[in-house]
Amino acid sequence: MNTSIFIFAIIVLFIGLSFGSFVNVCIYRLPKKKQVLFGRSFCPKCKKKIKWFDNIPLISFLSLDGKCRACKKKISPQYFFVELVSGLSFLMIFLNYDNYYASFLLAILLLIYLVIFFIDLKHFIIPDVLNYGIIIVAFLKNFLPDLNLSFIQDIKLSLIGGIAGFFSIWIIIYLYKTFKKTEGMGMGDAKLMAGIGLLFGWQSIPFVLFLVGLAVYSIRFIFSCRSWTINGYAIFNGKKEKLKVTNPFWSIHYNRWCNLFLVWRCLI
Ligand SMILES: [Zn+2]
């Protein structure tokens, strides 16, 4: 490795780690409907502002042994993990692709999907701003020069994919409501799938549905339960609310698998 590539890699890693910190801010603030661009970070437990030298990606977490300096309460390993994933992904993306359009597109998508993944994991929701972000980016990529990625870059095919994605979930929601009188999935899932359709075309929709179905049913088979109903509670705007979804197992894993699938597809 020559020196200039090494320096480039260090800079890319640092930028990736910093964006990882920003992703953590988004994961914490977006479900609380707080803005993410301004305001200093603070400890979620004792609310003390975090000093800049305790806010260095990865290093601060390690040097403080995963605890807040002020209240000594444990900080979730998620903070470390997200920064690491973001940093390494930036390295992979920017060292693998010569095409800067492709690199920036993948980096933006990766960050949004990381935020979605962790918010969904904790709160069972996908904030609209994230889904719309993906939809806009996925639409705009049609106007970029040839990216040489597995994305569809034809406006017509991309739009057909987006519509197919949205309605594939909309139909499931409708059928669930009609026959089971419950909400199987939310509109967030439909928007998420619209984003996938816009990126990869309609062909990806049956594949994702199949993959997700396979995952759900094999997990059910392994744990030999017909349905895995968690009477889940989630915190919205600081207050505890019962989830509307009566069988969140399906919808939650649906989202997560979609996200994982996409992140994986993006990076390969
Ligand atoms: Zn604290």
Specify whether the CB–CB gap between 135 and 192 falls below 8 A. Answer: no
Q: Compute, in angstroms, the gap from residue 67 CA to the centroid of ligand 1.
A: 8
- What SS3 string covers the chain? CCHHHHHHHHHHHHHHHHHHHHHHHHHHHHHHCCCCCCCCCECCCCCCECCHHHCCCCHHHHHCCCECCCCCCECCHHHHHHHHHHHHHHHHHHHHCCCHHHHHHHHHHHHHHHHHHHHHHHHCCCCHHHHHHHHHHHHHHHHCCCCCCCCCCCHHHHHHHHHHHHHHHHHHHHHHHHHHCCCCCCHHHHHHHHHHHHHHCCCHHHHHHHHHHHHHHHHHHHCCCCCCCCCCEEEECCEEEECCCCCHHHHHHHHHHHHHHHHHHHHC
Q: Compute, in angstroms, the gap from residue 114 CA to the centroid of ligand 1.
A: 24
Q: What pLDDT does 124 receive?
A: 72
pLDDT per residue, tens digit, the chain (268 aa), is 688 999 999 999 999 999 999 999 999 999 998 888 888 888 888 989 988 888 899 999 999 999 999 999 999 999 999 999 999 999 999 988 888 999 999 999 989 988 988 887 777 778 899 999 999 999 999 999 988 888 889 999 999 999 999 998 888 778 877 877 666 567 888 898 899 899 989 988 888 777 766 766 665 566 554 433 333 333 333 344 444 443 444 445 555 565 556 555 554 4
Q: Compute, in angstroms, the gap from residue 74 CA to the centroid of ligand 1.
A: 8
Q: How many residues does this entry show for the chain?
A: 268
Q: What pLDDT does 147 receive?
A: 86
Q: What pLDDT does 216 receive?
A: 60
Q: What pLDDT does 30 receive?
A: 93
Cα separations in angstroms, 221 against 31, 37, 65, 87, 246: 33, 44, 39, 36, 20
Q: Compute, in angstroms, the gap from residue 50 CA to the centroid of ligand 1.
A: 9
Q: Compute, in angstroms, the gap from residue 57 CA to the centroid of ligand 1.
A: 17
pTM summary value: 0.82
Q: Compute, in angstroms, the gap from residue 55 CA to the centroid of ligand 1.
A: 13
Residue 130 corresponds to which tokens in the numbers above? Answer: 């994230």
Q: Compute, in angstroms, the gap from residue 63 CA to the centroid of ligand 1.
A: 15
Q: What pLDDT does 22 receive?
A: 94
Rg (CA), the chain: 20
Q: What pLDDT does 23 receive?
A: 95
Q: Compute, in angstroms, the gap from residue 53 CA to the centroid of ligand 1.
A: 15
Q: Compute, in angstroms, the gap from residue 44 CA to the centroid of ligand 1.
A: 7
**Which residues contact residue 65 at a Cβ distance below 8 angstroms, ignoring those fewer than 6 apart?**
none
CB atoms within 10 A of CB 227: 9
Q: What pLDDT does 222 receive?
A: 63
Q: Compute, in angstroms, the gap from residue 9 CA to the centroid of ligand 1.
A: 33
Task: Kindly report the backbone phi and psi dihedral angles of residue 241, in degrees, each rounded to the nearest multiple of 5, phi listed first.
Answer: -130, 145
Q: What pLDDT does 69 receive?
A: 92
Q: Compute, in angstroms, the gap from residue 14 CA to the centroid of ligand 1.
A: 25
Q: Compute, in angstroms, the gap from residue 43 CA to the centroid of ligand 1.
A: 5
Tell how strand 239-242 and strand 233-236 pair up.
antiparallel
Neighbours of ion ligand 1 (CB under 5 A): 43, 45-46, 68, 70-71
Q: Compute, in angstroms, the gap from residue 190 CA to the centroid of ligand 1.
A: 38
Q: Compute, in angstroms, the gap from residue 232 CA to the centroid of ligand 1.
A: 27
Residue 49 corresponds to which tokens in the numbers above? Answer: 């502002």
Query: Whole-angstrom Cα distance, residue 168 to residue 208?
Result: 11
Q: What pLDDT does 140 receive?
A: 95
